[in-house]
Structure 1
Amino acid sequence: MTVAELHQGVPRRPGRVPVRRLLCLLPPALVGVVAVRHRQVLVEGFGQVRRAEWPWLMAAVGVTCLTWVAAAVTRQGAVVLRLPRRRLLATQFAAGAANHLMPTGLGAGAVNLRFMTVCGVPPARAAAALALYLLAEGVGRVGLLVMLALAFPQALRLGPLLPRGALWPMLAVLGGVLLVAVAALVLVRRLRTMVSAFLRTALAEARSVHTLPGRALALWGGSLAFPALQSAALVLVARALGLAVPPGHVMVAYLAATVAVALVPTPGGIGSVEAALVVALVAAGGPVAAATAVVLAYRIITVWLPLVPGALTLGALVRWKVL
């Protein structure tokens, strides 16, 4: 009996599932789902973009591109190991798409965590670098908001931002969350041990980063530049659509709105950010119709236009094993 005849009687193994290829197709598919769910926003947003002054819109697009550079600089500043620059920048572009397809912060965090581990950063130190980045980004955003609010004390009329009696329920919810977290740490020994180990690693990583002046400058300079560029893009869009609100007030409105929705678990802040930005721009003195038009155009430029190329970049990075 020949070898060919022997193989004819042996059943073939089922082919391996092309997991990596499926992962490459997942981001564009999710983009389609999100676009269909928000098609009305897209139609209205593109309508506002068509009637705007194009030089200001192109400037807003350029500033938006610089936000990915600022994010890459901040990411590099949060880790001692030198990361490959081009792949780091491409990863931030892809992470932006992932961030709009998953609950706020989780998409970008997962992409960057994977990127750092592929680059040779141990998982514990990669997680510590991610935590340091989030801390620096939060401090930078709130710090910039405080500075601009002091420079422009009349930028926001806070009355319209919160309905009467809404502040105390919000504080009660935050207090309840903090109480549950503290109780879990006190009562669950294993969780307490894990948190303690993580904090030791994170503090060691933070000390290492701050012994290098270049890393510290990149971390804190980038964390300030990132929200500044985001708010500057909104200023340019407002100028393109003729919103009669001073630029400093627009920046305060943007930072206040994004800080307020930071804890809302929606993909990329889609829905919550739009509502908060409209309310903040109205509180800064803009008409409702004009503020809505500005927000729709701004979200088209900063979210929807980069979403498809960002998703394709994410799929390509997965295919090329960068992630």
Structure 2
Amino acid sequence: MRSSRLLRWMAAILAVVLVVEYVVLPQLVGSDNVVAALRRLPPVLVLFALLLEAASLASYSLLTRAVLLGDDSPGFFTLFRIDLCDLAVNHTVPGGGATAAAVRFRLLTRCGVQADNALSAATIQVLGSNLVLAGLFAAGLLFGRDGSAGGRSLATAGAVVLVLLALALVALALLERHLEGAVRAARGIARTVRLIHPESAEQFVRTIAAEVHMFRGNPRRPAAAALLAALRYVLDAAALWVFLAAFGHVLQPGELLLAYSLAKLVALVPLTPGGLGLVEGVLVPMLVGFGVPDHVAVLGVLSWRVVQFWLPIPVGGLAYFSLRLGIMRQEVRHPETRTAAREPRFRSRRRAG
């Protein structure tokens, strides 16, 4: 177990070194220092980019609240701090998505969310966000500069994304219409893999199906969730646009969507923390291909990453300590209310088992 973990860490570090050495560093030759360049920018523009990033994170927290089932959803400020902690972990651990998801699950349950609700909400949220990101990539292909920065490669990538998008939608439809078959398949996979108990796999599938059914029964809720997911990415991309414009190049919306969404899709590959090196290695060449001057592309992307990637790490640490000293401390002092609320569910599961 330790040897496999060590191998994953070594592979992640090697990936970062190779990407930085052969993709990022060549772009940095002859450019000014990023921090010095940021200091030369008008403070109003930097503040505007910070506000856009904060609004992007707020949209994600509102999305969390929209997909949480039950009446045990924490307040917005609590969810906002939990999402900051999630982001900080994701940006510091190689392949940090899984670790960040575990931390986020732990924090949600410690703040009063039932385990089933936290798990199903996280699954729906991640799946829905990725589908929306794929849709933004498709929109970028449609409204971008006819694929001039990528040619056949971009067309192929777009076709793959659209196929995956269609398969995900079909899977959700099949889950609702053929629930028992999906349950049997989940139990069979759990018995074969032996990493999860069959009853837990069944409970997970049924909870996801219930959430999908709830969304279909209330059309406004999925529409609001999709809007919030799109808003999260659009505001983040807008912050990148502000930095590029501040350094002297105004990018077209279609080109911005195409470059941004492709970089974010690549960042989903669990190799480096938060796609470190991968995002920069995709964005800079694509922006240059769209006609952005080399130094503007490098300074714009790296300045954006200071705000979008590096800044949430210390802020997330502060958010974690505020949770420990606030709502999580109250839960430790008064656990009887939460225990009483969850006890009937545990009892019913034991009888069902």
Counterpart code for 2:279: V
Aligned pair partner of 1:87 in 49, 55, 78: 78
Taking every aligned residue pair, what percent have the same amino acid on both sides? 25
- Deviation, 1:187, is 8.0
Aligned pair partner of 2:97 in 105, 109, 118: 105
C-alpha distance in structure 2 between counterparts of 1:236 and 1:154, whole Å: 23
1:60 aligned to 2:43?
no
Unaligned residue ranges in structure 1 (runs of 5+)? 1-37, 171-181
Deviations 1:223-261 (A, max 9, x none): 111111111111111101113533431232111111123
Q: TM-score, normalised by structure 2?
A: 0.66
Aligned pair partner of 2:240 in 223, 226, 234: 234
- Deviation, 1:220, is 1.5
Aligned pair partner of 1:224 in 202, 211, 230: 230
Aligned pair partner of 2:115 in 111, 123, 135: 123
Q: TM-score, normalised by structure 1?
A: 0.72
1:302 aligned to 2:291?
no
Task: Decide which structure has the larger Cα Rg and report it.
Answer: 1
Deviations 1:95-139 (A, max 9, x none): 222221223423542343123323433323321111100011001
Counterpart code for 2:293: P
Count of aligned positions: 270
Counterpart code for 1:69: A
> Of the two structures, which has the highest relative contact order with CA contacts closer than 8 Å and spacing of 6 or more?
1
Counterpart code for 1:106: A
C-alpha distance in structure 2 between counterparts of 1:121 and 1:288, whole Å: 48
C-alpha distance in structure 2 between counterparts of 1:161 and 1:280, whole Å: 12
Most deviating of 153-162 and 305-314: 153-162
The residue number in structure 2 matching 1:243 is 249
C-alpha distance in structure 1 between counterparts of 2:314 and 2:280, whole Å: 20
- Deviation, 1:155, is 5.5
C-alpha distance in structure 2 between counterparts of 1:189 and 1:251, whole Å: 39
1:189–1:262 Cα change, 3 Å: closer
Asked if the contact 1:231/1:251 (under 8 Å) is kept, the reply is: yes
**RMSD, aligned α-carbons:** 3.4
Asked if the contact 1:125/1:202 (under 8 Å) is kept, the reply is: no
Counterpart code for 1:45: V
Unaligned residue ranges in structure 2 (runs of 5+)? 1-19, 161-185, 330-353
Asked if the contact 1:48/1:296 (under 8 Å) is kept, the reply is: no
C-alpha distance in structure 2 between counterparts of 1:160 and 1:212, whole Å: 40
1:254 aligned to 2:253?
no
C-alpha distance in structure 1 between counterparts of 2:327 and 2:273, whole Å: 25
Counterpart code for 1:83: P
Counterpart code for 2:63: T
Deviations 1:291-318 (A, max 9, x none): 1111111111112233212212123323
The residue number in structure 2 matching 1:138 is 130
C-alpha distance in structure 2 between counterparts of 1:208 and 1:244, whole Å: 42
Asked if the contact 1:278/1:292 (under 8 Å) is kept, the reply is: yes
C-alpha distance in structure 2 between counterparts of 1:240 and 1:107, whole Å: 36
C-alpha distance in structure 2 between counterparts of 1:153 and 1:83, whole Å: 44
Asked if the contact 1:243/1:290 (under 8 Å) is kept, the reply is: yes
1:164-175 pair list within 5 angstroms: none
Counterpart code for 2:50: V
